[in-house]
């Protein structure tokens, strides 16, 4: 009996140990199966990060050129003294709009009024002399026919009449000169426009001999823009355009980056190239009703001087400019792997760049989601989705937390994943080990 009891007591602990081992193996197996999706997911990794892409297409695009320009009034007139005298009054408000013929300054007219009166008196004297000479010639005419006087006397009478007529004409001319000088004492605006500050004050002595400048009038609506451009670049754009670019629309960008609401037009290109700079001057005309442009102001203009029939337009945020490899962007290939591509930018079109080299029609260009690739090894596939501009469509989530919430709703990431841009990048950075 003792031996049976001993055998039973020995086998009981062994049975419990075996049963416990089986339970532990089952639990470990169950835990491994439960956490496998969290560690590797379908296919052995986290879902590929989503990136916004656009599909390129060929379209005719106007090449916009941005160039420096100086504003210049269409007409400028220097108000100068045309007679000598003392300025009595200033008859305008400085900086105001004046009309052609409007009185601006009053020079002392007394000396010129006196000369006019003297000239008019000379006209009266010359008229009396003429009347006398004409009457004498009329009396001599029948007498010479009757041989009562000599023909020489009659000839002298006729000559005296002619001289009196010439003297009267000269006197009348002096009256006209005196009237003009008297009118010049009232200085009028030669053109309409904006007048600047007065360059003389009341009591100043002005002279016609020295052509004293009194003020400056400038017509600023419309305004000329003198644009400078490389002659080589101008010839290249003309070849692309297949001809001249006259009447091309012109947009004006001010110093603060704002663009004028009104657009101008290109008038002509100068026929001479500056030998010192190799540049040619283009002239444009732009409306300036509210005087946004001032004479001499430096601005920049955008104008379309050529059109590319097969250009590609991409958003500016998709392009990295001025890098070691030039202008680059990311292209998502057929295998959904992003790769860097060097492109050639021709010009700007609003908030986009015009690409003329480096892209083909139908390729997918990455526009957003670049931060998701920072932690990924090169060649990691991504999930391209159509990109929508925040201006044209539904804007992207404003914060990274909002992006995580949207991903949780779609079932892309666990609800317990940490917020931030690393949510989708960090788990996918490491390939699951097998």
Say if residues 47 and 297 touch (Cβ distance below 8 Å).
no
Q: Which residues pair with 160 in a beta bridge?
A: none
pLDDT recorded at residue 421: 35
Which pTM was predicted?
A: 0.57
pLDDT recorded at residue 152: 92
Site of tokens 């008196």 = 121
Tokens of 38: 């969290």
Which stretches of the chain drop beneath a pLDDT of 50?
A: 1-15, 17-19, 21-44, 243-244, 392-434
Whole-number Å distance between alpha carbons of 8 and 135 = 180
CB atoms within 10 A of CB 6: 10
Whole-number Å distance between alpha carbons of 215 and 94 = 9
Q: What are phi and psi of 227, to 5 degrees?
A: -105, 135
Q: Is the peptide bond before 222 cis (omega within 30 degrees of 0)?
A: yes
Maximal CA-CA distance, the chain: 205
Task: Tell me, letter by letter, the H, E, C secondary structure of 128-179.
Answer: HHHHHHHHHHHHHHHHHHCCCCCHHHHHHHHHHHHHHHHHHHHHHHHHHHHH
Q: Supply angle C-alpha 151, 154, 160, rounded to 5.
A: 140
Whole-number Å distance between alpha carbons of 235 and 249 = 19
pLDDT recorded at residue 45: 60
DSSP 397: P
CA atoms within 13 A on the CB side of 405: 7
Task: Tell me, letter by letter, the H, E, C secondary structure of 232-253.
Answer: HHHHHHHHHHCCCCCCCEEEEE
Q: Supply angle C-alpha 26, 32, 36, rounded to 5.
A: 150
Give the start-end residues of each E strand in 167-297.
186-188, 193-195, 205-206, 213-230, 249-253, 264-273, 279-286
Site of tokens 């006398």 = 132
pLDDT recorded at residue 38: 38
pLDDT recorded at residue 189: 95
Ordered by where they begin, the domains of the chain are: 110-184 (1.10.287.470), 397-434 (no CATH)
Q: What is the pLDDT of residues 383-416, one digit of tens each?
A: 899 988 765 443 333 333 333 333 333 333 333 3
């Amino acid at each position: 009996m003792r031996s049976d009891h001993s055998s039973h007591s020995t086998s009981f602990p062994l049975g419990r140990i075996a049963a416990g081992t089986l339970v532990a193996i089952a639990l470990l197996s169950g835990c491994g199966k439960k956490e496998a999706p969290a560690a590797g997911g379908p296919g052995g990794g986290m879902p590929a990060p989503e990136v916004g892409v656009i599909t390129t297409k060929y379209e005719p695009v106007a090449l916009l050129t941005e160039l420096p320009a100086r504003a210049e009034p269409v007409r400028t007139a220097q108000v100068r003294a045309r007679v000598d005298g003392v300025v009595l009054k200033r008859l305008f408000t400085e900086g105001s709009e004046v009309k052609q013929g409007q009185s601006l300054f009053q020079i002392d007219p007394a000396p010129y009024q006196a000369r006019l009166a003297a000239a008019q008196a000379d006209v009266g004297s010359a008229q009396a002399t003429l009347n006398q000479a004409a009457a004498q010639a009329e009396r001599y005419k029948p007498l010479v026919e009757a041989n009562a006087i000599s023909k020489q006397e009659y000839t002298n009478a006729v000559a005296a009449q002619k001289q009196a007529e010439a003297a009267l004409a000269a006197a009348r001319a002096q009256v006209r000169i005196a009237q003009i000088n008297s009118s010049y004492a009232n200085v009028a605006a030669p053109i309409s426009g904006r007048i600047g500050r007065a360059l003389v004050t009341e009591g100043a002595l002005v002279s016609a001999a020295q052509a004293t400048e009194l003020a400056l009038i400038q017509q600023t609506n419309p305004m000329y823009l003198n644009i400078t451009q490389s002659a080589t670049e101008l010839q290249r754009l003309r070849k692309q355009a297949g001809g001249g670019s006259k009447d091309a629309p012109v947009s004006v960008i001010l110093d603060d980056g704002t663009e004028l609401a009104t657009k101008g037009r290109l008038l002509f290109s100068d026929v001479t190239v500056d030998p010192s700079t190799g540049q040619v001057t283009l002239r444009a005309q732009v409306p300036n009703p509210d005087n946004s442009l001032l004479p001499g102001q430096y601005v920049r203009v955008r104008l379309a001087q050529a059109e590319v029939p097969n250009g590609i337009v991409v958003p500016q945020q998709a392009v990295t400019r001025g890098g070691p490899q030039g202008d680059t962007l990311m292209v998502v290939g057929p295998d959904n792997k992003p790769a860097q591509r060097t492109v050639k930018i021709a010009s700007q079109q609003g908030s986009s760049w015009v690409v003329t080299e480096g892209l083909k029609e139908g390729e997918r260009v990455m526009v957003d989601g670049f931060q998701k690739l920072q932690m990924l090894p090169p060649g990691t596939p991504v999930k391209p989705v159509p990109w929508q501009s925040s201006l044209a469509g539904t804007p992207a989530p404003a914060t990274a937390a909002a992006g995580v919430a949207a991903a949780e709703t779609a079932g892309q990431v666990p609800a317990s994943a940490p917020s931030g841009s690393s949510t989708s990048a960090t788990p996918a950075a490491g390939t699951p080990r097998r």
